[in-house]
């Protein structure tokens, strides 16, 4: 069968062999799939799989996502084999994305292509299993895949020598994938190595591809484009960002990850746009009639949650942020950074870079905080410690 492999979008069958829960041995920090309500529960029907395959205009179908296709291999092998046979029966080749290195050699005769997702523990296992693939003349075409850290382009360029050295060590094709969580633009040309041994895959390619999850849909319907969400909030005059997201903006190399997006809004219109454009639904968590109003927002597309506070004025937004427990949190973003003048921009920058959370001396205005603020601050302290912050109560 002669099918173009370049001009048509990728087709991927998302699997989750567990009937309930996330079918994977480990939740990778960068994974967005597990939060999707479209995640299938258990094996998918032969009818759905076959119908999806027949829409494809490429030469291969990928089995991936949602969970690991090789998760609990012995238990789930019959479902994997049925899916592989279904793909081959329609004249297509089979591609599998996995991080379950111990089972890759068992894909001989089942998969034509295998992409091994790398992180530290996978790299540590390679020497124990790689010889099994090299010893068989019938093994699949194997490549390695690495998700880039969510860093600005200048920082990624500094990492290129490390990726070149990794490719040399692996002795196979290395695919560098743009991070779904990244809010910084990546220049594809800048990530070129001048040869085909290292390739760059943009998240736009993954988001435009077709997926069989619980429904036949595109990646845009499953996963939130975090960059688009961030750009919208950062550009809106009624949005005041704070918390971990702002620390990531200020020093992304030190603060690679943030769990959610904290934002103060001055209008419900922004909430309407978040619902319409980004699929968010908001649940109010403050008492009836309280001011300010607190909301939790979660999108139908897997990605970051939004913790939202609705206020009346810029003065209240800044008063809220400038009364945070720690100096490191007394910074916000509203079409540009703003800092608590009591602490000073340089001191806050230094605290963020050195990951030092110092308690602010003196009294604080607590009237804009929820009644359970003390419990909120205890949880926040615990989160900072887990993220490697030094907690200091001294001036």
The region of weakest confidence among 128-142, 160-174, 247-261 is: 128-142
Give every strand in the sheet of 113-117, ordered side by side. 198-201, 174-177, 141-147, 113-117, 93-98, 60-66, 11-15, 210-212, 216-218
pLDDT in tens, 252-276: 999 998 889 999 999 999 999 999 9
pLDDT at 39: 86
Chain-wide mean pLDDT for the chain? Answer: 91
pLDDT at 10: 92
The residues near 31 (Cβ < 8 Å, ≥ 6 apart) are: none
pLDDT at 230: 95
pLDDT in tens, 338-351: 999 999 999 999 99
Is the pLDDT at 4 greater than 70? The verdict is no
pLDDT at 137: 65
Is the pLDDT at 1 greater than 50? The verdict is no
Is the pLDDT at 299 greater than 90? The verdict is yes
Cross-strand bridge partners of residue 303: none
């Amino acid at each position: 069968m002669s099918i173009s492999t370049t001009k048509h979008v990728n087709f991927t069958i998302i699997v989750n062999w567990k009937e309930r829960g996330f079918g994977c041995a480990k939740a990778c920090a960068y994974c967005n799939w597990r939060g999707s309500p479209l995640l299938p529960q258990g094996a998918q029907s032969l009818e759905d799989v076959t119908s999806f395959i027949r829409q494809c205009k490429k030469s291969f179908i990928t089995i991936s996502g949602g969970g690991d296709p090789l998760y609990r291999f012995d238990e789930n092998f019959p479902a994997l084999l049925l899916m592989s046979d279904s793909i081959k029966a329609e004249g297509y080749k089979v591609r599998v994305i996995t991080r379950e290195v111990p089972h890759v050699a068992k894909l001989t005769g089942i998969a034509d292509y295998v992409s091994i997702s790398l992180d530290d523990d996978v790299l540590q296992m390679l020497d124990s299993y790689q010889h099994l693939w090299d010893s068989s003349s019938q093994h699949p075409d194997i490549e390695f895949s690495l998700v880039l850290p969510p860093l600005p382009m200048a920082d990624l360029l500094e990492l290129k020598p490390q990726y070149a050295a990794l490719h040399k060590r692996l002795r196979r094709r290395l695919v560098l994938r743009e991070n779904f969580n990244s809010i910084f633009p990546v220049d594809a040309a800048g990530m070129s190595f001048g040869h085909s041994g290292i390739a760059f895959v943009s998240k736009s390619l993954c988001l435009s591809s077709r997926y069989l999850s619980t429904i036949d849909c595109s990646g845009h319907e499953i996963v939130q484009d975090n960059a688009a969400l961030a750009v919208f909030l950062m550009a809106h005059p009624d949005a005041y960002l704070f918390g971990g997201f702002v620390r990531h903006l200020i020093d992304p190399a030190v603060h690679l990850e943030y769990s959610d997006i904290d934002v103060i809004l001055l209008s419900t219109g922004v909430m309407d746009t978040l619902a319409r454009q980004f699929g968010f639904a908001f649940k109010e968590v403050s008492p009836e009639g309280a001011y300010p109003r607190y909301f939790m927002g979660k999108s139908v597309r897997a990605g970051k949650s939004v913790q939202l506070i609705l206020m009346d004025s810029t003065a209240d937004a800044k008063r809220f942020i400038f009364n945070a427990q720690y100096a490191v949190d007394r910074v916000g973003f509203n079409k540009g950074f703003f800092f608590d003048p009591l602490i000073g921009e340089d001191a806050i920058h230094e605290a963020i870079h050195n990951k030092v959370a110092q308690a602010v001396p003196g009294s604080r205005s607590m009237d804009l905080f929820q009644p359970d603020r003390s419990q909120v601050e205890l949880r926040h302290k615990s989160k900072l410690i887990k993220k490697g912050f030094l907690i200091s109560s001294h001036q």
